[in-house]
Amino acid sequence: MIDDDRDAAPTPEANPPAPKRRPLLLTDSPLGRRLTLPAALVLATASGLLAVLAFPPYGAWPLAAVSVAGFGAAVHRRRLRGGLGVGFVYGMAFFLPLLAWSSTQVGQWPWLFLCALEALGMGLLGMFLAACSRLIDTRRWTLAPLTGVAWVAEEALRSRQPFGGFPWGNLAFSQAESPTAAAIWLGGAPFLSFLVALSGGLLLAAVFALAAHFYGSQAAPSGHLQSPQDAPRGAGIRKAAAFTAAAALTALAPLALPINATAPAGDTVNVAVVQGNVPRLGLSFNEQRRAVLDNHVQATKDLAAAVNAGRAERPDLVMWPENASDIDPLANRDAYKLISEAAEAIGAPIVLGGIVHNEDGTRSNMTIVWDPEDGPVYMYSKRHPVPFAEYVPYKGFFSTVAGWIDPRMSEGLDNVAGFEHGQNAGIVEVGDYTLTGLICFEIAFDAETRDSVRDGAQLMAVGTNNATFDTNEAQQQLAMVALRSIEHGRDGLMASTVGVSAFTDHTGEVSQATEFNTAAVIQSDLTLSDSSTPASTVGILPEAVLTGAALVALACAILINVKHRRSQT
């Protein structure tokens, strides 16, 4: 699948200038010098690992752009199969450690399968950039913007396919603590990813300028000069400095945006988030009958006692996480009674997550509003359940294939709950307040988040159950909540069974973040918002425009490649 380095050298020109010695790790190809295959694979692996460090819990956000630059250098001037192979290697180096939390409880095979699917998207990106090598070489100004739109197109595909997509690992989600994050309220997560990739493309242009300065134009697409001796003294270094400055400016420019223009200006609501914790972590947490529910009920009653004693403010609503009721609270009388007692004690509605058995025999992952007097008054059903964790697409086929690999894996698929896809609006109504109805991984999807805001959500609220995973996954998810708060100008919160639970504001600042695997109650005044940011209004348009630009660039690259091939015959 990966190309080798046995391509014929380019046809020599008449009276060529005396070239400098070919630099180490470069080899000749029909397009010019490129990295040898071993060097490209090493660079792709290193770049993938650097990208991991840009995401929580590490948070070294500048490394995302550096990783993009390394990826671009690794696939430049390769054949299509080389771009696919090198890109796949980059993807595995990135996703295996980034998604390692999915292996801790779900198992090794599902983790490897998920990472391979995600890495295939990076392989397609590698093919795309490899196909555009001649376009970049002949029109050097295209390098940075083409890199930006190519990454957006890849993320758009990976966020939708296969099986509804999985956007985890998109460049935007590495930038929660960066100055670039402020741009997300202009064009959403795809626009933020574009800026990060654009910065990476500019860094790559700087590297190419230096390579051309020291080794000549055959080493890198930095210009059309025949040799470094023809260039003005220091021109390559000045170009490299200019490209590097442009990359830094791209990252820092969003600081100038009037982000306070998106600040919520509505009423204030006091929200308490209860993190009840679970007796032990893992997928078996739902087998611990009523233990999780008991923890959340007791924590809420303890808060009520603190309120009655004057040690805490009475909240306007209490938020419990996804799966806070580990048994169906509508069908089980004990669960119903316990939740009602907790709501009556605190004197406020409780928004809780629970698994509900439907009349047709199916199950739904629900968020339920529990009124102190009237009991359950509103329910939201998760609209985007996670494939192979909450339902199994093409179950017969995948169970058979899993059985060939490992019988235990097939048994695991047979035990997947099979949740229904909710068809409701993306909101939870709590009296006069409206929250987003997002459950767990739904926060990663642009459409689900945006639709919740458009449906009237005044707060960015996410209930999640991180007991199946670890603190890395929880911190990565919290970064998404912070970014969505900036994107849509909403105060927000994340309520988790075991952590991390926290509050966020419209600037992305996180407050009162809890420790992992501990019981905790946090409380804050949040401001409601009924306004829309540009990102909320324009919706999918920036992503569509940038993806369309990538397709146009690919078409132009194909035409240039065909024209060149015909000229050689």
- Active site amino acids: 322, 382, 440
Kindly tell me the burial class for residue 134, based on how many C-beta atoms sit within 10 Å of its own C-beta (0-12, 13-18, 19 or more): buried
Are the beta carbons of 75 and 86 closer than 8 angstroms?
yes
Per the DSSP assignment, residues forming a β-bridge with 294 are none
Are the beta carbons of 69 and 43 closer than 8 angstroms?
no
Helix (H, G, I), strand (E, B) or coil at 545: helix
Contacts of 523 (CB under 8 A, 6+ apart): 270, 271, 272, 273, 303, 312, 313, 315
290-304 burial: b if 16+ Cβ within 10 Å, else e = ebbbbbbbebbbbbb
Cα–Cα distance, 545 to 284 (Å, whole number)? 45
Cα–Cα distance, 477 to 466 (Å, whole number)? 10
Vertex 418 angle, CA 416 and 422, to 5°? 140
Query: Token pair of 281, please?
Result: 């972590």
Are the beta carbons of 189 and 483 closer than 8 angstroms?
yes
Per the DSSP assignment, residues forming a β-bridge with 493 are 461, 503
40-59 burial: b if 16+ Cβ within 10 Å, else e = bbebbbbbbbbbbbbbbeeb
Secondary element (H or E) of residue 569 = none
Secondary element (H or E) of residue 176 = none
Nearest to 84 by CA among 130, 116, 48, 148: 130
Helix, strand, coil content of the chain in percent (nearest 5): 50, 15, 35
Output the CA–CA distances (angstroms, integers) from residue 290 to 107, 298, 328, 565, in the order listed: 25, 12, 10, 69
Are the beta carbons of 81 and 259 closer than 8 angstroms?
no
Cα–Cα distance, 200 to 145 (Å, whole number)? 10
What is the DSSP annotation of 214-232? Answer: HH-TTTSSS-S-SSGGGSP
Handedness of CA 321, 327, 332, 334 (dihedral sign): negative
CA 10 to chain centroid: 41
Are the beta carbons of 279 and 299 closer than 8 angstroms?
no
State the number of CA atoms in the 13 A half-sphere of 120 facing the CB: 12
Cβ neighbour number for residue 313 with a 10 Å cutoff: 13
Radius of gyration of the chain (CA): 26
